[in-house]
Amino acid sequence: MDNLSEIVRGGTFCLAKAGLEIGGTTSQVAIDAPNSVGIDFAIKGVLYNKAEADDVFTLSGDIQTALYSCLYLLSLDKDGTAHCTQGKEVLTAAIGGTPLEWPVADADCCAIGAIRVDAGASAFTPGTTALTGGTVVVTYYDFFAVPDAPIVS
């Protein structure tokens, strides 16, 4: 599908930039939408809103190996409950030959963004290790929908 006109009914999309950033608790993620009123999103064609908030998402999943990169998909359900889906880790130096694939959102959830964590010399523990300083490099992505191509660099 390359065109929204191809959607006959329904659709799951984020309709406003989430402004994902490090939370007040440095191991968590906040929503700091540029519009100052939160984000609107649709799940199966029905609209919902999530207000801006600190510490909305806590990353979850297995411990990420040192020197590896991983994507963490951040999504919301109709009640505004945060969900985190950890992707498959890839040796950072091998990205390109082995792309980082986007994880799939939980059922009945709208992906609003993702975080790429490049672990340095130490392992990264989701939900515990700070998303700043130390040996991690973190990149935030705001979504309309999950990108159709993996990350190759």
- pLDDT over 70 at 1, yes or no: no
Question: Is residue 125 situated within a structural domain?
Answer: yes
Question: Is residue 149 situated within a structural domain?
Answer: no
Q: Is 53 helix (H, G, I), strand (E, B) or coil?
A: strand
- pLDDT over 90 at 5, yes or no: no
For residues 90 and 67, give the distance between their C-alpha atoms in angstroms, rounded to a whole number: 9
pLDDT tens for 73-129 read 999 999 999 999 999 999 999 998 999 999 999 989 999 999 999 999 999 999 999
The domain in which residue 39 lies consists of 4-142
Supply the pLDDT for residue 100: 96
- pLDDT over 90 at 6, yes or no: no
Question: Is residue 37 situated within a structural domain?
Answer: yes
35 residue type, one letter: N
Question: Is residue 153 situated within a structural domain?
Answer: no
More confident residue, 144 or 3: 144
Domain count for the chain, please give it. 1
List, in order, residues 6 or more apart from 96 with CB less than 8 Å away: 152, 153
Supply the pLDDT for residue 9: 77
Mean pLDDT of the chain: 93
For residues 141 and 132, give the distance between their C-alpha atoms in angstroms, rounded to a whole number: 16
Q: Cα 71 to chain center, whole Å?
A: 7
DSSP 8-state symbol, 6: G
pLDDT tens for 17-30 read 999 999 999 999 99
Supply the pLDDT for residue 134: 80
Question: Is residue 151 situated within a structural domain?
Answer: no
Supply the pLDDT for residue 18: 97
Is residue 141 within 8 A of residue 150, CB to CB? The reply is: no
Pairing mode, strands 20-22 and 46-50:
unpaired
Question: Is residue 152 situated within a structural domain?
Answer: no
List, in order, residues 6 or more apart from 65 with CB less than 8 Å away: 89, 119, 123
Using a cut of 0.85, tell me whether the model's pTM lies above it.
yes
